Amino acid sequence: MLGEPKRDRKSERRTATRREIIDAAWQVARDKGLAQVTLREVADLVGMRAPSLYTHFASKHAIYDAMFGDAWTQFLEYSKTVESGEPRTSRAAMRFYARVFFDFAVAFPARHQLMNLRTIPDFAPSPEAYAPSMAVMQDFIARMARHGVRGQDDIDLFVAVVSGMIDAQLANDPGGTRWSGLLDRAIDMFADNVGITDERSRP
């Protein structure tokens, strides 16, 4: 049709190839661990030679960078799919926020390691890759504020409690429910500490 912009098929193919490389890297991370991602193995999965990856990513750290941004984007998308189930009352909302992140994290330990732990030597995400994680945190801060939790110390404490429960689950009972079953109790302790002492909403 006249007037329609021409498709940039070269750019589309490049984007699709980058996506395939990232997916292959996630597959290696899931099967063998985050630190075991190698250019050779990723290249084999996408059907190219390892040197050809450099036309799409400058280094293995560049692949980790893309994975980091992708992981936080995945969480943003996941959180949107479950937000309709968010409770209105404050203590229940605290438990909900914790559960959403806990379940996402333990479902894929290697992804959690890249998102939240410094397990790759000398790797730091670029500002572009870091942006989705900042969007997640800004949204979380706004949600907590709706329930009267606004202090940075309180936000930090909540994050530390949930992160600690995730790490304990993955380290001591991977695939189990030992710390998962204690998560609500831990969040109730947090809620008590910040003054949300009953199930009613707190402005």
Q: How confident is the model at residue 45 (pLDDT cuts 50, 70, 90)?
A: very high
Indicate the fold that domain 1-57 takes in CATH: Arc Repressor Mutant, subunit A (1.10.10)
Q: Map the chain to HEC letters.
A: CCCCCCCCHHHHHHHHHHHHHHHHHHHHHHHHCHHHCCHHHHHHHHCCCHHHHHHCCCCHHHHHHHHHHHHHHHHHHHHHHHHHHCCCCHHHHHHHHHHHHHHHHHCCHHHHHHHHCCCCCCCCCCHHHHHHHHHHHHHHHHHHHCCCCCCHHHHHHHHHHHHHHHHHHHHHCCCCCCCHHHHHHHHHHHHHHCCCCCCCCCC
Predicted TM-score (pTM) of the model is 0.91
| pLDDT, average across residues 136-141 | 96
Over residues 1-27, mean pLDDT: 84
Topology of the domain covering 65-203: Tetracycline Repressor; domain 2 (1.10.357)
Weakest mean pLDDT among 43-52, 65-74, 85-94, 194-203 = 194-203
* Domain boundaries along the sequence of the chain: 1-57, 65-203
Rounded percentage of the chain residues whose pLDDT exceeds 70:
96
Q: pLDDT (tens digit, 9 = 90+) per residue, 115-130? A: 999 999 999 999 999 9
Q: What is the mean pLDDT of residues 123-140?
A: 97
